[in-house]
């Protein structure tokens, strides 16, 4: 009797959506291989806050209890607040973690190597080479299948500095706060050891359109120039943006394209995460949404 041939999935990328899929496949007993170009964890100055929508996925994976035990009473938010451009609180919620509770409820590195599998999953971001190859194959075999195979209307309207700063008595511990101004905003939250994780979102003077090479790249001097431009923004009544930036341990500037592709698979190739639907993370839901497929 011939031995059973098991499907093997190749997963390109090693971030939130990719590792979620790998966890699902492992629990189902489906063979997979995660391909990640970075051999070590690499910090880009970003953070992730887990909201009820994200916790529901973790609960389905059997991870909810372990993560809840890790953060409860330590890094969970006690306070949520919205502030205006003067740093004044305009709305707030206390006991935030209690409300969240109620609403719940190995990487390998390859360059030039060849891997064989039955299914290919591209979860390697907005610049996904898997998506580009998928479009190319579809154009050859089924012209017109992807009407946006050469998209020119994917907009980039915002940029973002994401940073981590040392703790400060000018920003409340165990809190998440949002500051809104004209054409800019700041989601800010405390994390492990009371470090401050923050994002400065800024609307660009002009909207660019397109993917891959058409997406603008950012340089370190542009990051510093934007931080200087916004230095007087009030985070609280005693803390300005420039001080928060000066206390930083890391900060990076990136532009933020936005796209939800109507078709995200072809034959045995599919895309997930930011390769299929790239959201503007201003609301803090980008990472929580990445394991989901497009609507």
pLDDT tens sequence across 98-134: 776 666 543 364 456 777 888 999 888 888 889 999 9
Encode pLDDT of 48-94 as tens digits.
Answer: 777 777 777 888 888 878 877 776 555 567 788 888 888 898 888 88
Out of 91-100, 133-142, 214-223, least confident range? 91-100
Q: Which residues pair with 175 in a beta bridge?
A: 79
Of the ranges 16-20, 174-178, 252-256, which one carries the lowest mean pLDDT score? 16-20
Query: Is the domain defined by 1-42+117-151+259-295 classed in CATH 3.40.50.300?
Result: no
Write the secondary structure of 198-233 as one string of H (helix), E (strand) and C (coil).
Answer: EEEEEEEEEEEECCHHHCCCCCHHHHHHHHHHCCCC
What are the tokens at 91? 């709305």
pLDDT interval class at 257 (50, 70, 90): very high
Whether residue 39 has pLDDT greater than 80: no
Angle between helices 52-60 and 64-71 (to 10 degrees): 130
Beta bridge partners of 193: none
Instruction: Provide the pLDDT for residue 44.
Output: 57
Average pLDDT over every residue of 154-177:
93
pLDDT digits (tens, 9 = 90+) for 284-295: 666 666 665 555
% of the chain with per-residue pLDDT over 90 = 36
* Partner residues linked to 259 by β-bridges: 278
Distance of CA 71 to the CA centre of its chain: 20
| Run of H or E including 63 | none
Read off the pLDDT of residues 184-196 as tens digits, 9 standing for 90 and up.
999 999 988 899 9
pLDDT of residue 291: 60
- 261-280: buried (b, 16+ CB within 10 Å) or exposed (e) per residue? bebbbbeebbbbbbbbbbbb
């Amino acid at each position: 009797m011939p031995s059973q041939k098991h499907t093997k999935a190749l997963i390109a990328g090693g971030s939130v959506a990719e590792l979620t899929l790998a966890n699902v496949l492992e629990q189902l007993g489906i063979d997979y291989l995660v391909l990640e170009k970075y051999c070590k964890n690499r910090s880009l100055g970003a953070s992730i806050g887990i909201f009820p929508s994200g916790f529901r996925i973790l609960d389905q994976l059997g991870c909810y209890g372990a993560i809840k035990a890790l953060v409860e009473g330590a890094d969970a938010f006690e306070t949520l607040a919205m502030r205006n451009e003067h740093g004044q609180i305009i709305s707030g919620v206390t006991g935030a973690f209690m409300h969240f509770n109620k609403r719940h409820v190995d990487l390998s590195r390859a360059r030039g190597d060849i891997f064989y599998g039955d299914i290919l999953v591209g979860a390697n971001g907005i610049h996904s080479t898997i998506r580009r190859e998928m479009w190319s194959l579809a154009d050859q075999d089924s012209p017109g299948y992807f009407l946006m195979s050469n998209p020119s209307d994917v907009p980039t309207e915002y940029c973002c500095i994401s940073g981590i700063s040392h703790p400060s008595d000018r920003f409340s511990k165990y809190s998440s706060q949002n500051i809104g101004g004209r054409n800019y905003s700041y989601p800010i939250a405390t994390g492990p050891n009371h470090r401050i994780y923050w994002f400065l979102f800024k609307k660009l003077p002009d909207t660019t359109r397109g993917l891959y090479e058409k997406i603008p790249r950012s340089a370190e001097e542009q990051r510093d120039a934007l931080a200087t431009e916004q230095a007087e923004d009030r985070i609280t009544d005693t803390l300005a943006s420039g001080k928060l930036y000066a206390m930083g341990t890391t900060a990076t500037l990136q532009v933020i394209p936005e796209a939800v592709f109507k078709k995200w698979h072809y034959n045995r190739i599919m895309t997930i995460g930011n390769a299929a639907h790239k959201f503007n993370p201003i609301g803090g839901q980008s990472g929580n949404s990445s394991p989901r497929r497009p609507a």
